[in-house]
Structure 1
Amino acid sequence: MLSRRPILTLPPANIEVKYCDLSEAEKDFYEALFQRSKVKFDQFVEQGRVLHNYASILELLLRLRQCCDHPFLVMSRGDTQEFADLNKLAKRFLHGGNGSTNGDSSCLPSRAYVEEVVQELQKGEGECPICLEAFEDAVLTPCAHRMCRECLLSSWRSAAAGLCPVCRMSMSKQDLITAPTNSRFRIDVDKNWVESSKISSLLQELEGLRNSGAKSIVFSQWTAFLDLLQIPLSR
Structure 2
Amino acid sequence: MLRRTKNCTDKEGRPILNLPPANIEVKYCVLSEAEKDFYEALFRRSKVKFDQFVEQGRVLHNYASILELLLRLRQCCDHPFLVMSRGDTKEYADLNKLAKRFLRGGNGAVNGDSCIPSRAYIEQVVQELQKDEGECPICLEAFEDAVLTPCAHRLCRECLLSSWRSATAGLCPVCRMSMSKQDLITAPTDNRFQIDVEKNWVESSKISALLQELEALRSSGAKSIVFSQWTAFLDLLQIPLS
TM-score strictly above 0.5:
yes
Of 127-136 and 16-25, the range deviating more from structure 2: 127-136
Tell me the alpha carbon deviations over residues 23-58 of structure 1, each in whole angstroms, 9 at most, x when there is no partner.
000001000000000000000111111111111111
Aligned 8 A contact 1:25 1:89 in 2: no
Indicate the percent of aligned positions where both proteins have the same amino acid: 90
Aligned length: 231
Equivalents in 2 of 1:100, 1:205: separation in Å?
54
Distance 1:121 1:221, change over 3 A: farther
Equivalents in 2 of 1:99, 1:144: separation in Å?
11
Distance 1:77 1:162, change over 3 A: closer
Equivalents in 2 of 1:71, 1:37: separation in Å?
15
Of 89-98 and 199-208, the range deviating more from structure 2: 89-98
Deviation at 1:197? 0.2
Of 187-196 and 129-138, the range deviating more from structure 2: 129-138
Equivalents in 2 of 1:100, 1:172: separation in Å?
11
Structure 2, unmatched stretches of 5+, are 1-11
Tell me the alpha carbon deviations over residues 81-126 of structure 1, each in whole angstroms, 9 at most, x when there is no partner.
999999999999999999998999x986899997999599759999
RMSD after superposition: 15.1
Of 135-144 and 34-43, the range deviating more from structure 2: 135-144
Deviation at 1:169? 18
Aligned 8 A contact 2:150 2:183 in 1: yes
Distance 1:92 1:200, change over 3 A: farther
Equivalents in 2 of 1:26, 1:209: separation in Å?
27
Aligned 8 A contact 1:22 1:99 in 2: no
Question: Looking at both structures, which has the greater relative contact order when contacts are Cα pairs under 8 Å and sequence separation is at least 6?
Answer: 1
Distance 1:77 1:181, change over 3 A: closer
Larger Cα Rg: Structure 1 or Structure 2? 2
Equivalents in 2 of 1:108, 1:10: separation in Å?
60
Distance 1:4 1:228, change over 3 A: farther
Of 196-205 and 47-56, the range deviating more from structure 2: 47-56
Tell me the alpha carbon deviations over residues 142-181 of structure 1, each in whole angstroms, 9 at most, x when there is no partner.
9999999999999999999999999999999999999985
Name the SS for the 1:98 alignment partner: helix
Aligned 8 A contact 1:125 1:185 in 2: no
Aligned 8 A contact 2:169 2:179 in 1: yes
Distance 1:10 1:21, change over 3 A: same
Structure 1, unmatched stretches of 5+, are none
Of 3-12 and 132-141, the range deviating more from structure 2: 132-141
Name the SS for the 2:108 alignment partner: coil
Distance 1:44 1:10, change over 3 A: same
Aligned 8 A contact 1:69 1:225 in 2: yes
Distance 1:136 1:107, change over 3 A: same
Deviation at 1:187? 1.3
Aligned 8 A contact 2:78 2:207 in 1: yes
Tell me the alpha carbon deviations over residues 180-222 of structure 1, each in whole angstroms, 9 at most, x when there is no partner.
8532112110111000000000000000000000000000000
Show the counterpart of 2:4.
none
Pick the aligned partner of 2:208 from 175, 197, 200.
200
Distance 1:183 1:166, change over 3 A: farther
Deviation at 1:224? 0.2
Distance 1:141 1:12, change over 3 A: farther
Distance 1:15 1:229, change over 3 A: same
Show the counterpart of 1:62.
71
Deviation at 1:70? 0.1
Aligned 8 A contact 2:207 2:237 in 1: yes
Distance 1:5 1:205, change over 3 A: same
Show the counterpart of 1:21.
30
Of 92-101 and 204-213, the range deviating more from structure 2: 92-101
